[in-house]
Structure 1
Amino acid sequence: MSTVIHIEQISKSFIRNDREIVVLHNVNLEIESGSFVVLAGPSGCGKTTLLNIVAGLLPPDSGTVYYKGVPISGPRLEVGYLTQKDTLMPWRTVERNVEMPLEIRGIAASERRRRAAEFIRLVGLEGFEKLYPHELSGGMLRRASLARMLVTLPETLLMDEPFGALDAQLRLELQNELLSLWSRQRSSVLFVTHDLEEAIILGDRVVVLGTGGHIIADEPIALPRPRDAFHIRFRPEFTNLHRRLWDALMESRLQVQRQEVRL
């Protein structure tokens, strides 16, 4: 496979109470085209910061991120980003929210409606097109946000703990929905989570980050596809993967705790 995202020697610091906090230090990572890569780790290990740099929303202090060999200097139309929080426009219906990225690109109204309807159906929101965000449940909001991200057919998806605020049943439903949609489009995915089960269920590869974005583990996930988010957890291979990655996650948490004590 060819490399779609190449992260080279990325460093990033922030100032807190007049002190420099190093969030990422000389991070290197490659994401292959069409792969589903999950970044896992505790809060404070730099997952979201790294994703924002890859999205072109945050400049690194040093180092470069390349997209298909070209340095990233800002957001790219080929890359979709689904954040932790819902960012639907409250004054727009589901249909109009999903249409918005197409409207920005100057797509004709009839084509916008056709494509929005297609993706609203794909995420299971058919019949709810005319509702406003305040009329939707948490799971429906996530589905609408997912449809809005996918409607432009992005080559690459960046997802920052998109299901973290949902209850366990809804999370499983949307994990299955995402797996189904990904199997159709085969976009490249960089997905951030702190949930190891979610990481193994979804990923071709799980990368566990420690302090400064240091890679503690980089584990291929050789579980068969297509996967069912509920039943895959009962395979013996899943248990073995979870044990190895759990040990790496515990090491990562200890690193982060030591850093917090020093601060």
Structure 2
Amino acid sequence: MSPVLRMRNLSKQFVKDDKGIVALRDFDLDVAEGGFVSVLGRSGCGKSTVLNLLAGLIPPTSGDVFYREQPISRPRVEVGYLTQSDTLMPWRDVRRNIEMPMELKKVPARERRERAAELIERVGLGGFERHYPRELSGGMRRRVGLARMLAGDPETLLMDEPFGALDAQLRAELQKELLRLWQGSGQTVVFVTHDIEEALLLGDRVVVLGRLGRVVLDEAIDLPRPRDPDEMRVDTRFVALHRRLTDALREGAR
């Protein structure tokens, strides 16, 4: 079976102050349908650039990016993207923020409201439908962003350190929520993180990137689900994988 996402011989260079800055060089990646791939790496290794290329937001300098064997040259409705930053519309309440992807697809108003109401309940925001982003906590805004991404019924989810700015307890809560929403959905997820434990708890595969997007390690994660963080930390398999990923990150920094 062909991969859902495919990147071949990919390079990306940015220009700043008349100087070329290489973010990726000769990068390859395949992502199978229905998988949850954690892309792990330190700051500056090209993780976000990979997602922006997969999302069709920027073109490669050289090489190819494919979605179901079709070249990616622009954003696609089949692909949802949850960025690091909060991109909610401040003048829209929770329900209308979530409805936005459906409005763009010209879904009838009644269907939009019903779908938004369902998603509000699924992400645990019942009772906050009429609240505006400024009235919500950081964690609640992340939930709205997740629901808005899912409202477009994407086949593939791209997520760029979506929980990185949250405290540990809230991050763990939203990690569980994400897995609950993903399992059984058939959706493909590419999840970027710099946190080893997060990569292991979420992914069924971890790709460790070094400088310029060099793939240092591509590791299948066969830990059983559900993965409770407290139980996993004392699991010998988890400890061994954690050590392998730590070593890979160190190698990638050289």
Which TM class, normalised by the smaller chain length? over 0.9
Q: Report matched runs for 1:6-21 at 5 Å.
A: 6-21=6-21
| Equivalent-residue separation in structure 2 for 1:150 and 1:135 (angstroms) | 22
Unaligned runs of 5+ in 2: none
Q: Secondary structure of the equivalent of 1:234?
A: coil
| Equivalent-residue separation in structure 1 for 2:183 and 2:2 (angstroms) | 19
| Equivalent-residue separation in structure 2 for 1:99 and 1:32 (angstroms) | 29
* Matched residue, 1:172: 172
State the Cα distance separating 1:229 from its structure 2 match: 4.1
Q: Secondary structure of the equivalent of 2:183?
A: helix
State the Cα distance separating 1:17 from its structure 2 match: 3.1
Change (3 A) 1:126 1:201: same
Q: Secondary structure of the equivalent of 2:158?
A: strand
Q: Which amino acid aligns with 2:118?
A: E
Q: Which amino acid aligns with 1:24?
A: L
* Matched residue, 1:261: none
* Matched residue, 1:199: 199
Q: Report matched runs for 1:25-104 at 5 Å.
A: 25-104=25-104
* Matched residue, 2:116: 116
Asked if 2 retains the 8 angstrom alpha-carbon contact of 1:161 and 1:191, the reply is yes
- Identity among equivalent positions (%) equals 60
| Equivalent-residue separation in structure 2 for 1:33 and 1:233 (angstroms) | 29
Q: Report matched runs for 1:92-241 at 5 Å.
A: 92-241=92-241
| Equivalent-residue separation in structure 1 for 2:230 and 2:151 (angstroms) | 27
| Equivalent-residue separation in structure 2 for 1:94 and 1:184 (angstroms) | 26
State the Cα distance separating 1:18 from its structure 2 match: 2.6
1:95-115 deviation per Cα after TM superposition (whole angstroms, max 9, x unaligned):
000001001110111100000
Q: Which amino acid aligns with 1:87?
A: T
1:170-208 deviation per Cα after TM superposition (whole angstroms, max 9, x unaligned):
000000000100003131001100001000000010001
Q: Which amino acid aligns with 1:29?
A: L
TM-score by length of 2: 0.97
State the Cα distance separating 1:230 from its structure 2 match: 4.2
TM-score by length of 1: 0.94
1:58-96 deviation per Cα after TM superposition (whole angstroms, max 9, x unaligned):
000011111011111100000000000110000000000
Asked if 2 retains the 8 angstrom alpha-carbon contact of 1:201 and 1:233, the reply is no
| Equivalent-residue separation in structure 2 for 1:165 and 1:222 (angstroms) | 28
Asked if 2 retains the 8 angstrom alpha-carbon contact of 1:172 and 1:230, the reply is no
Q: Secondary structure of the equivalent of 1:185?
A: coil
